[in-house]
Structure 1
Amino acid sequence: MMKNKILGILLISLSFSISAQNMLEKQGAVDIALENNYDILVSNNDLEAAKNSSSIYNSGYLPSVFASGGADYQSNESEIEFQDGSVQDDIENTTDTYSASVGVDYLIFDGFGRKYNYRKLQEQYNISEIRVRQVIENTLLDLLISYYDVARLTENKNNLQQSLDISKSQLLREQYGYQYGQKTQLDVLNSEVNVNQDSINLLNIQRELANAKRDLNVILGRDVNIDFAVDTAVSYAIDLTYDSMLQSAKVNNTLLLQAEKNVTLSDYDLKINKSSWVPNVGVNGAYNWRDSNTDSNISNPFSLASQTSRGIVGGVSISWNIFDGGSTKTRVQNAKIAIDNSNIEKQLIEKDLERNVANAWETYQNSLFVLSAEEKNVETNRRNFQRSEEQYRLGQIITVEFRLAQVNFLSAVNNYNEAKYTAKVAELRLLQLGGRLIGANY
């Protein structure tokens, strides 16, 4: 009866404690991390920079347009001696000149180097997108592992609190029994040791829980001292098969996708280098204007007072580096080697991925088996503890035997919690390998 009252008070106080805290749901934690996590913020900035680099403005396809203008002023003083011996030493000449020019240069053909370079920029942007997704997947995995660690410690703390309440109730019973001569001083001392041990264990788990919450807050990108409660419920995917996960990994795994893009980039590098063997053709054109005004104190009907010129100029240019000492040939040969290396790296990643999926699948299946076994173990230890409790009340077993049943039951519950969250983490790691973590059932 006393135990039921204690458990009732515990449940009421636990419910009040959770309601006083902010409940952090799994999807809510994911949303906060996607918005505030520092790694994700940096990767999004890198993606924006890659987008700028892959635009048409960085491709070389657009012409170069230039404009120039200027003004020039000259003032000269000179002395002239004529054939008749006369001299004029106060000659002044001033000239104002104004000019402007607008032109355009455009490369019509460069051996398709510009074309493949633009495609390469697009592929680099695609790789940046895959890397952002990889960062998000890694962040989500770290986030959910941390979240479930908080959940595990929360349940362990609640179990230890219940165990402490039971030990306190047992100590009270022993003290009453000792006062009425039904128990010995040794029984009381053993119960006090049990209470002290449970108090120490509870204090340690509270410290671990507080540290785990701070770790989770860092991943969420918010104040590390924010307190919260978490959802301790765990659900597992029921539609996972080995073949489907392996096929999904070959299509969606971020490491393999990047390896495939690297092969494409190497192929574009080869084509870009080959374009150096082809001549370049370009056009240019400009509109020029120039106005010049001269003022002189010498009267000469043949001197120019002003001059204005304007007109359009244009041309076509062809350049061909017939032989560059073999540097282009060397770059082409090295580009072919790079393609071969990219294909080898892709094959290696494929083999690693097959192995990792197989290992992750086996780990997941083993974790589910352990979870089932631990669940049965909890039920067995619960029945054993209930019998021991009844026998203890009837005086059929001593304090040490009751304590052993209590410790075994607590250990079984904690092992079950460990197995429950270990299986979920194994599932999340499997989903990440298969490229299915984003949007999964957390």
Structure 2
Amino acid sequence: MKHINKLIILFFSCCISANYGQEILSKEAAINIALENNYGILIAKNNMKIAKNNASIYNSDYLPKITANAGANYNNDTNEFTLQNGEKTTVNDVESKVYNASIGLNYTLFDGLGRTYNYKKLKETYNLSELEAKAIIENSLLQIFSKYFEIANLTENSKIYLESLNISKQRLTRTKYGFDYGQNTKLQMLNAEVDVNNDSIRYINTQRILANSKRDLNLLLGREVSTNFNVDTNVKFEQFYQLNSLLEKAKVYNIEIQKLSKSILLSDLDIKINKSNWFPTLNLNSSYGFNKSDNDATFNYAEQLSKGLNAGFSLNWNIFDGGNTKTKVQNAKIIADNLQVQKTQLSNELERNVTNAFEVYKNALFILKAEEKNVETNMLNFSRTEEQFKLGQVTSIEFRQAQVNLLNAQSNLNQAKFDAKNAELIMLQLSGELLNTNF
């Protein structure tokens, strides 16, 4: 028993020294760190950069294409000539050199408005990537605060477990004195020792789980997992939520609804893009170049040079493509219809989910009030039982039961408090208000 007590004292000393001077990680600081370092959020931001690059004018086909070409050729031949009288003449090492260079411009003047709709689609795709990043941020914040409030719950429980342990140690000391003076039995002293051990184990296990949860939160925040800190255990609740107001906000600001609405817009643009294939394409082509050739003196022209500007238009109209464009347009319309059905389904599911979340939140607040009352009752019961125990009017078993009842009531109150806060955050996410909330 003495050995166990020494271990407990050593553990408590380490915990106290570890907690001294620790960082207090506020909810606002956790949000800021996550926005800067969370791995999922960083990937989402990079995806947004890709979508922004794709939506640039440089990826729109609105700008002309300019190409440059140059070349040089050298020939060294042996030529044989046959005159009309049959006489043959051979010329060896006949050299010829040819040089050419040109610069050309191609520009599409009209393509059935296909590139116009493509450019709009790229911009809307970028807007969709913003919504996807926002969804990732919301989900990440929910994960972070779920873990944050778990740490807060464990922190509060550690305090009440430590307080209960101190009460059990005081009872053990009192029981030992009573045993030394013949007022208590050996069994009563052993029971007190068992209770001290059980309270110590509960406290040590809670500290272990707390340390693991802190590492989990550090991982979500994208920082060194061994960073130690404390959290703010205070929570605030907004008591005046109105279901109708939440439902109206959800229809407009819910991320999934916004993403689906954006997908419907993109499907409409796909229909127009495919329809553009029914129209002709008009292109402008222009070039400027020169060609120069140096020939052996045996040729009529020893040197020839040509240069000039060329320009023209070309019209291409795919009058019938075997029904390929028609099929694409029909399929794009079907996809658009499916998205509308999905939006109707999602709207109904969202109304159900918001209503359920609202009821869960109200119920959580009711349980919180009930647990607060329960703690008050158990504190009063324990206070009176403790007084009677000191006077020898109740047994150690009755005292322990009152102590355990208070311990459970306080633990349940902590759990109810943070369950209610998590329920509130889920309700706010569904209504699209999570990122506008003061945590």
What's the TM-score, normalizing by structure 1? 0.93
**In 2, Cα distance between equivalents of 1:256 and 1:172:** 64
- What per-residue deviation string (whole Å, max 9, x for no partner) do you get for residues 15-61 of structure 1? 87644212111111111111111000111111111111111122111
Residues in 2 aligned to 1:352 and 1:85: alpha-carbon distance in whole angstroms: 98
Shift of 1:351: 0.7
2:394 matched to which residue of 1? 397
The range that moved more, 58-67 or 233-242, is 233-242
Amino acid at match of 1:43: A
Select the residue among 313, 316, 321 that pairs with 1:316. Answer: 313
1:68 corresponding residue in structure 2: 69
- Counterpart CA distance in 1 for 2:384 and 2:364 is 30
**Residues 98 and 292 in structure 1, CA contact (< 8 A), matched pair in contact too:** yes
Counterpart among 308, 326, 329 of residue 329 in structure 1: 326
Cα distance in 2 for partners of 1:288, 1:375 equals: 89
* Cα deviation digits, residues 101-144 of structure 1 (max 9, x gap): 11111111111111111111111111100000000000011001
* 1:417 and 2:414 are equivalent in the alignment: yes
Q: Secondary structure at the match of 2:97?
A: strand
Note the aligned Cα RMSD (angstroms).
Answer: 1.9
Whole-Å Cα distance in 1 between the matches of residues 264 and 90 of structure 2?
A: 80
The separation in 2 between residues aligned to 1:288 and 1:24, in whole angstroms, is 69
Give 1:237 deviation, angstroms. Answer: 2.0
1:338 to 330, 335, 341: 335
Residue 73 of structure 1, CA deviation: 1.2
Aligned partners of 2:138, 2:211: CA distance in 1, in Å?
A: 25
CA–CA separation in structure 2 for the residues paired with 1:421 and 1:84: 114
Question: How many residues are paired up?
Answer: 428
Other-structure match for 2:259 = 258
2-structure distance, mates of 1:371, 1:419: 5
Q: Deviations 1:64-85 (Å, cap 9, x if unpaired)? A: 1111011111112334566778
Distance 1:321 1:162 in 2: 84
Letter paired with 2:114 = G
The secondary structure found in structure 1 opposite 2:377 is: helix
Report the equivalent of 1:235.
236
CA contact (8 A) 1:120 1:265 kept: yes
Question: Does 394-403 or 16-25 show the bigger shift?
Answer: 16-25
Aligned residue for 1:350?
347
CA distance in 2, matches of 1:314, 1:387: 104
Secondary structure of the corresponding residue to residue 67 of structure 2: strand
CA displacement, residues 382-429 of structure 1 (integer Å, 9 cap, x when unaligned):
011111111111111111111011000010000000000000000111
Q: Distance in 2 between matches of 1:18 and 1:439?
A: 33
The structural deviation recorded for 1:295 is 2.9
1:379 matches 2:380: no
The residue type paired with residue 225 of structure 1 is S
Q: Which residue of structure 2 aligns with residue 190 of structure 1?
A: 191
Structure 2 Cα separation of the partners of residues 14 and 152 of structure 1: 17
Deviations 1:278-337 (A, max 9, x none): 1111111111211111233x4x7xx11111111111111111111111111111111111
Q: Which amino acid aligns with 1:60?
A: D
Per the alignment, residue 388 of structure 1 pairs with 385
2:154 maps to 1:153: yes
1:77-88 equivalences in 2 (<5 Å): 77-80=78-81
1:98 maps to amino acid: Y
> What letter is aligned with 2:368?
L
| Counterpart residue identity of residue 249, structure 2 | S
> Is the counterpart of residue 370 in structure 1 residue 367 in structure 2?
yes
| 1:196 positional shift | 1.1
- Alignment correspondent of 1:206: 207
Runs (5+) with no aligned partner, structure 2: 1-11
Please name the residue that 1:5 is paired with: none
Give the TM-score taking structure 2 as reference length: 0.94
One-letter amino acid of the structure 1 residue matched with residue 367 of structure 2: V
State the partner residue of 1:31. Answer: 32
Cα drift, residue 198 of structure 1? 0.6
1: CA distance between counterparts of 2:66 and 2:257? 43
Deviation at 1:174, TM superposition (A): 0.1
Q: % of aligned pairs identical?
A: 49
Larger displacement relative to structure 2 (148-157 or 243-252): 243-252
Check 1:101–1:281 CA distance in 2 against 1; reply closer, same or farther (3 A cut).
same
SS in 2 for 1:229: strand
Query: Counterpart of 1:292?
Result: 293
The Cα of 1:163 is off from its aligned counterpart by 0.6
Q: Is the 8 A contact 1:237 1:441 kept in 2?
A: no
Match of 1:110 in 2: 111
Comparing 349-358 with 431-440, greater Cα deviation is found at 431-440
Output the amino acid matched with 1:389.
Answer: E
AA partner of residue 310 (structure 1): K
1:376 deviation in Å?
0.7
Written as runs of structure 1 = structure 2, the 5 A alignment for 1:132-143 is 132-143=133-144
Give distance in 1, aligned partners of 2:110 and 2:397. 92
Question: Structure 1 residues 86 and 335, CA, compared in 2 at 3 Å: closer, same or farther?
Answer: closer
What letter is aligned with 1:345? Answer: Q
Alpha-carbon separation, structure 2, partners of 1:329 and 1:86: 69
Tell me how far apart the structure 2 counterparts of residues 87 and 429 of structure 1 sit (CA, whole Å): 99
